[in-house]
Structure 1
Amino acid sequence: MLFFRRWGLPFVMLGPFTLLIAIFFFVPVILITILAFTNMDSSMQWTFNGLANFKRLFHDPNLLEILNHTLVYVFFTLFINVVFALILAIITTYFIQKESVSLFIRTVWMLPRMSPPVVYVLLWLWFLDSSSYGVLNSIRSLMHLEPKAWLTTHPMLVVILANGIIGASYGMIIFSSAIKSIPQDLYQAAKVDGASIWSIIGEIIIPSLRWPIMFVTMWQLLSLLTSYEYILLLTKGGPLHESEVLSLYSFHNAFQNFEFGYGSAVALVLVVIALMFSFILWKVFGMNKMVKNSRVD
Structure 2
Amino acid sequence: MSVLVFAEHDNASLKGATLNTITAALACGGDVHVLVAGHNAGAAAAAAAQVAGVAKVLHADAAGLDHALAESNAAQVLAIAKGYSHILFPATAAGKNVAPRVAALLDVGQISDATKVVSADTFERPIYAGNAIATVQSADAIKVITVRTTAFDPAAATGGSAAVESLAAVAEGGTSTYIGSEIAKSDRPELTAAKIIVSGGRALGSSEKFNEVLTPLADKLGAALGASRAAVDAGYAPNDWQVGQTGKIVAPQLYVAVGISGAIQHLAGMKDSKVIVAINKDAEAPIFSVADYGLEADLFSAVPELIEKL
Which structure is richer in relative contact order (CA contacts within 8 A, separation 6 or more)? 1
> TM-score surpassing 0.5?
no
TM-score, normalised by the number of residues in structure 1: 0.21
TM-score scaled by structure 2? 0.20
Return the structure number with greater strand share.
Answer: 2
